[in-house]
Amino acid sequence: MKQRMITLSQDEMPRQWYNILADMKVNPPLGIDGNPIGPEKLAKIFPMNLIEQEVSSQRWIDIPEEVLRVLSIWRPSPITRAYNLEKALGTPAKIYIKNENVSPAGSHKPNTAVAQAYYNKIAGVKKITTETGAGQWGSALAFATQQFGLDLEVYMVRVSFDQKPYRKAMMNVWGAECIPSPSNKTEFGRKVLKEMPDTPGSLGIAISEAIEQALKDPKGETRYALGSVLNHVMLHQTIIGLEAKKQLAKINEYPDVVIGCAGGGSNFAGLSFPFAIDKMHGKNVEIYAVEPTACPTLTKAPFAYDFGDVKGLTPLLAMHSLGHNFIPAPVHAGGLRYHGMAPTVSQLVINGLAKADSIDQLETFKAGVLFARTEGVIPAPETNHAIAKVIREANKATEEGKEKTILFNFSGHGLLDLAAYENYQSGNLKVYELSDDEIQKSEEILKKYPTPQKFL
């Protein structure tokens, strides 16, 4: 029997996160430049320790003992060699799966949820508010806040709330409150409901509700949390790549290609940033971020200052963006339906340390089914984007006759997305590609903001 799984003992778990800002010579730091909110209001949205982490340029940041304690419920996550998939493809490439689906919530999201809950806790915060689309982030934060005894209020986009009742049930099991958005609980929600009583809701509306709730706590003990895009979120995810490097080193491997899907960018950053630093120092490794053709932020959108949310409550962020009013087509990969991209990930692509590719959902589901039939686990629709790219790269290796080593982030399982697979298998899946007209519209809108500095 060939050894498939490469594990680390808990003694070997990384004790520090890698902060890529230390190696990106952009000043002022990403994500704060052009901020129209001011530090005072920002401190009412996020706890000060996370704001400090957001702008820190320290290369290595200690992971607090209490965070390690919770992560150790499922970490280190295993790496598995995808022998069956390799065989099915007939490729000389070696494919390694970094498996983030083993967390309680089934994805990589708890890596930052746990850290954010901890920092809020020690800052004296009693309650967190957040939004969730498909539900991955909301359930991860529900698990994490429960671990630290914090209350959590999740605003879930109404259409997802109705379509995916299991996500709400999951949050409830972990003690969180899950409210369909727009709701009657906030001023903004009531305004929207009055104007559009039948609206399916949107992530933008949900963010506005969550931030409003955090700001209006009379005791000032509530803060808001975001599951992607921001620098500190990317930082917390780097444990993925740091573990992966150690695991591959154990079998004397180093990847030729590193692949992750990218919506806001956090699972991609988590795996790839620790390899990007090697590339900065001359190492030969290709890094790919994969996004849907329906929401081609990195591959087609301008690099500009834009807001993270529709209402413009977040700081202006220097990123690839389709414009904060952009509403992506309803692809099943809800986690990749985001108008922007993490500033750090955007910079990585701009300076050529990473490349971006976009794939339509038909190809991604085909890849996902092949993966499930060979390697067992059913992937999340988001993860299918990474798998589709892995297959493209493996087929390229076959054509070139090269024994390439491919590492990718299996960001989550699809057990709560099986309706999407049914849709695919019944032949009803639609392909969406963003038109050039729409891209141009985004460019026009974003022209009114200053051009951000590039890290080259």
- Binding positions for a second copy, rule: CB under 8 A: 1-5, 7, 9-11, 13, 65, 68-69, 72-74, 80, 84, 102-104, 106, 143, 146-147, 165-166, 168-170, 172-175, 369, 372-373, 375-378, 415-416, 418-419, 421-422, 425
Q: Quick one: 249 or 419, whose CB is closer to a second copy?
A: 419
Rounded CA separation 430/385 (Å): 15
Q: Quick one: 36 or 166, whose CB is closer to a second copy?
A: 166
Show the tokens assigned to 373. Answer: 């039939």
Least distance between a second copy and beta carbon 66 (Å): 9
Least distance between a second copy and beta carbon 388 (Å): 16
Q: Quick one: 26 or 176, whose CB is closer to a second copy?
A: 176
Q: Quick one: 103 or 228, whose CB is closer to a second copy?
A: 103
Q: Quick one: 403 or 422, whose CB is closer to a second copy?
A: 422
Strand ranges across the sheet with 177-181: 177-181, 151-157, 127-132, 222-224
Rounded CA separation 286/255 (Å): 8
Q: Quick one: 168 or 337, whose CB is closer to a second copy?
A: 168
Least distance between a second copy and beta carbon 181 (Å): 20
What DSSP letter does each residue of 244-303 carry, written as one string? HHHHHHHTT---SEEEEE-SSSHHHHHHHHHHHHHHHTT---EEEEEEETTS-HHHHSPE
Q: Quick one: 268 or 424, whose CB is closer to a second copy?
A: 424
Least distance between a second copy and beta carbon 229 (Å): 25
Least distance between a second copy and beta carbon 376 (Å): 3
Least distance between a second copy and beta carbon 10 (Å): 5
Rounded CA separation 275/348 (Å): 12
Rounded CA separation 444/26 (Å): 25
Least distance between a second copy and beta carbon 136 (Å): 13
The contacts of residue 411 (CB under 8 Å, 6+ apart) are 100, 101, 107, 108, 260, 261, 267, 380, 382, 383, 386
Whole-Å CA distances, 261 to 271, 291, 411: 10, 6, 8
